[in-house]
Amino acid sequence: MKEVIDRSFLKSFGTHLYQLRMSKGLSYRKMAQNCHIDHADIKKYEKGETNITLLTLKELAKGLGLEAKDLINF
């Protein structure tokens, strides 16, 4: 049961990340350039396939021109 809840949480975060990226008009590659995270990894985060670290959260926020708290407020 916990695994289902965890997977759902990751997917919700990924959807939020995707919406933020789209609202900024950024492609995977452009965002990757902005935050020095591989575009394939960003795609995995958006699909909820991979859990992220706090440092990754910080980099993703930088790539979107936001604060980290904006990424976790979903």
Rounded CA separation 52/25 (Å): 23
pLDDT tens per residue, range 13-69: 999 999 999 999 999 999 999 999 999 999 999 999 999 999 999 999 999 999 999
Task: Report if pTM > 0.75.
Answer: yes
Which structural domains are found in the chain, ordered by start?
2-72 (1.10.260.40)
- Could you tell me which of 24, 41, 44, 20 has the C-alpha nearest to residue 32? 41
